[in-house]
Amino acid sequence: MTTIRHGDLVIEVPDELSPDAVTVRDIPDDDPLVQTLAAADDLALVQKVTIAIDRPRIRTVAATTSGRPADPALRVRSADTGEVLLCERGGCYSWATHRGAPLDDDHVSALRATVFDEPRVGAHELRIRPATADAAAEIVRLFGIRLRRPVAGDIVTALESRIVRSSLVEITDSDPRTWRPVRPGDIGFRPGTSRLVLLVHGTFSTTRTGYGWRDDGWRAVLDGLIAAEDTTVLGFTHRTLSEDPEQNARQLVALLDELAADRIDLDILTYSRGALVARSAIELVGLPPDIAVRTVTMLGGPNAGTLFASRNNWSTLLDLYTTLLDDVIRRYAGPAGGAAAQRVLTLIFAVVKGIIDQALDADQVPGLAAMAPGSAFLDKLNAGSAPDAGVTYETVVTDFEPDDVVGMPADLLATLARVADEVVDPLMGDVANDLVVDVGSMSLIDGEELAVADIHRVPSASGTHHLSYLLTDESLRIVAELLG
C-alpha cells in the first residue's frame, strides 16, 4: 500500500495498482460547482481535486464482505475530521455518509458506484473502485467541505435557522436580488377584491432559491404575473427540514391573516413539498374568511409521499438531489453557479453532516420525514379533509424516460439515464416518476386521483425532471396557462 497526500486528503493506493498510475490535481476555480461551493456563506471548500487513474488491466482481486470478488480500491480519507467528502464520477454525486447497511455491493446504490466501502459514522473515508478492469482511465472528482464556523447542537436546526426565517417575500420584479421579506401590514392592496399569487417552495429551499433561477422563460412568466392588473405576487419562505408542513401552514395562515385587504382571491403555485404546505393550510388549518382560494397548481407535489423520504433512503436522496442540482447549476444558473444553489447545498450538507456526526432520525428532521409514505402527517392530511367547494387542485407531472428525451447534451442524458435506470426505477418499481416523486403520488389527493382534466402532463421528450419544472419550455407553458 502506497500513500499519496494532497492537502488534507490521504489516498492509499493498493499494491495491485502502481502509484505512477494515480494523478491528483486541483480542479480549476472556474468550475461551476467549485464557484458555487466557494461562495457559500456557511461552507468552506477545502479540497477540490481530480483523481485520474490510468492503469493496466488489474489481475488480482480482493474479497467483499459477502464473499464475492471486487476490484481493488483506492482508500481516500481526509485528515480533517470535520470535513465531508463529495465525490463525482460520470456526472453522479455521492456524499460520504453511512446508512447502517452491510458493507457489500448489494447495499451500495448505483449512484454510489465510486464508493465501495462507505464510511462508518464519524469516519470520513471513501473507497474508490475502478468501474472495469479494461477501462483505460478513470476520472473522479472530490470536493472536501466543512463548516466555516462551529455549530452548537443539532446541525440541521442550527444551519436552517441561520438561513431560513419564516416570512412573506414581496416580489415586484423578476430579478430575485430585489426580493425582500415584508411585514404583511406593509403590503399595499387597493380597495375591493385583489388577486394574490403565492409561491410556496420545496425541500432544501427558500422563496429565492426555489423560484429565483435566472432563466428567461420563468422570468417571463413571473413578469406577466407581476404586471397583471390588481395582482400581488408573494412568496412564503419557511423551514422544510426542522418543521413539518402543518407547522409551516400555521405560520402561513397567521401571516395571511395580517394582510390589510378587503378581500383576496388567492392562487397558489407550489413546488414539490410546497404542495403539502398549501394543502395543510387549506384542509387542516383553514384560511382567514376574507381570503378565497381559487386554484392550487402543484409542480411535482408528493401528495402521497415519496420513498426517498423514508429514513433508509435519505443518503440516496441526498446523492440524487445533488446530482440533479448540478444539472440545474450547469444548464440554467450561469457560469457563476448561481446564488440559489449555495443555500440549497448548505442545507443538503447539513443533513449529510448530521447523518455522519449525529445519526439523525425522523424526529430531528420532521419536515423530511413527513413526506415518507404512510407517515402520520400524510395519513392525517389524506384522511378525507377535502378542500371547500370552489378550490381547484391542479397538478403538473412528468415521467422522466431517458429514451424519449430530445435535445439534451449526450453526457448529461447519460448521467440522468443511469440515475433513472439504476437508482430510481428499482426503488420505485415500474411506475412513472420525475426521478424523485412518482406520478401516482402527485395525482392522489385524499386517496382519490384527481380528475383527468386537472392532471397536466409535461412530455417526457422535454427532459424535465423534479428540479427543472420551472426551467423547461413545455412545463412553463402549462404553468403560464394555469396562472394566467
Say how many C-beta atoms besides its own lie within 10 A of residue 175's C-beta.
13
Name 264's Cβ contacts closer than 8 Å, sequence gap at least 6. 189, 193, 194, 195, 196, 290, 291, 292
Spatial separation of the C-alpha atoms in residues 299 and 475, rounded to whole Å: 9
pLDDT in tens, 62-99: 333 333 334 556 778 777 778 888 888 888 888 876 54
Say if CB 370 and CB 244 are below 8 A apart.
yes
156-483 domain in CATH 3.20.20.150?
A: no
The candidate with the shortest Cα–Cα distance to 235, out of 306, 187, 193, 286, is 187
Which residues does residue 50 pair with via DSSP β-bridges, in sequence order?
A: 25, 141
Spatial separation of the C-alpha atoms in residues 224 and 463, rounded to whole Å: 25
Which residues does residue 296 pair with via DSSP β-bridges, in sequence order?
A: 268, 393
Residue 16 is predicted with a pLDDT of 74
**Helix, strand or coil, per DSSP, at residue 362:** coil
- Residue 167 class from Cβ within 10 Å (0-12 exposed, 13-18 middle, 19+ buried)? buried
Say if CB 368 and CB 351 are below 8 A apart.
yes
The candidate with the shortest Cα–Cα distance to 154, out of 372, 370, 361, is 361
Q: At what angle do helices 314-332 and 410-419 cross, to 10 degrees?
A: 160
Question: pTM score, two decimals?
Answer: 0.88
Residue 55 is predicted with a pLDDT of 55
Residue 119 is predicted with a pLDDT of 36
| DSSP per-residue letters across 154-217 | -HHHHHHHHH---EEEE-SSS-GGG-EEE-GGGS---SSEEEEEEEE--TT--HHHHH----HH
What is the four-CA torsion angle of 402, 397, 163, 123, rounded to 10 degrees? -40
Say if CB 272 and CB 370 are below 8 A apart.
no
Residue 312 is predicted with a pLDDT of 84
Say if CB 437 and CB 399 are below 8 A apart.
no
Sheet of strand 92-95: strand arrangement: 22-26, 43-54, 137-147, 84-89, 92-95
- Cell representation of residue 277: 404546505
Which residues does residue 144 pair with via DSSP β-bridges, in sequence order?
A: 47, 85
Residues of the chain scoring pLDDT < 50: 56-70, 99-125, 127-136, 335-337
From residue 210, how far is each of 3, 65, 205, 313, 422 by CA, in Å? 43, 42, 5, 23, 27
Q: At what angle do helices 473-483 and 216-227 cross, to 10 degrees?
A: 10
Residue labelled with grid coordinates 405560520: 251
Residue ranges matching CATH 3.40.50.1820 in the chain = 156-483
Residue 107 is predicted with a pLDDT of 32
Spatial separation of the C-alpha atoms in residues 278 and 285, rounded to whole Å: 10
Residue 403 is predicted with a pLDDT of 93
